[in-house]
Amino acid sequence: MKPAIEKVKDPRGRISVYRATCEGIEAEGQTAREASEACMDRVRAALGRLDRGVKFGTIHGHTFMVWPSLYGWHYRLDTFSDEYACFVDGSREDCVLRAVNHLAQNIWTHEVDDRAFLEPLPLSIQSDLKSWIRFQRAYRWLADGGIDPRFCHDTACRLVAATA
């Protein structure tokens, strides 16, 4: 597999950069060789992601799926009747953690026991979610207390920061 090289020129007609393309993957460089090497590095990374395959997981009865693409990882969440999908530029593990964090935020409600809810989640995202949950609870407490909704967000942010 060899990338196709294109010369990208500036308005004066001088070569500003070289662009290498191979099977939908592009990279740029100051020389044709740099662009070609960068493109092939991206091709190898994409092939490495494809070897890792798809990962499915569940949190509190809701499913997430992580799958590779040419440029990174994607995830899809199945929460209640809604579906969410995002792209993550990083490793598969980063994508799984983001998917779990996103899914947890989508299925969390004020009625859950926070400790029991957080327990099955990876430790690396529990502290982030604890802070997010404190904010949600503070916001609702302020809103239920009759505070003008325009001020609830800022006040909840200050309350959470003061208790962190």
DSSP states of 105-150: HHH--TTS-HHHHHTTS-HHHHHHHHHHHHHHHHHHHHHHTT--HH
Select from 10, 9, 3, 13 the least CA-distant residue to 35: 3
For 16-75, the pLDDT digits (tens) are 999 999 988 899 999 999 999 999 998 988 888 888 888 888 888 888 889 888 888 888
Mean pLDDT (whole number) for 96-118: 91
* Cα three-residue angle 39-45-46, rounded to 5 degrees: 90
Confidence check: pLDDT of 122 > 80: yes
Question: Could you tell me where the DSSP H helices lie in the chain?
Answer: 32-52, 92-107, 114-118, 123-144, 149-163
Confidence grade of residue 82 (pLDDT, cut at 50, 70, 90): low
Select from 13, 37, 72 the least CA-distant residue to 29: 37
pLDDT of residue 83: 62
Mean pLDDT (whole number) for 104-125: 91
pLDDT of residue 17: 94
In three-state secondary structure terms, 48 is: helix
CA distances from residue 73 to 26, 90, 109, 144, 156 in whole angstroms, order as listed: 17, 7, 28, 40, 34
Helix (H) or strand (E) run with residue 91 in it: none
DSSP 2: -
Where are the domains positioned within the chain?
4-50, 53-107, 108-164
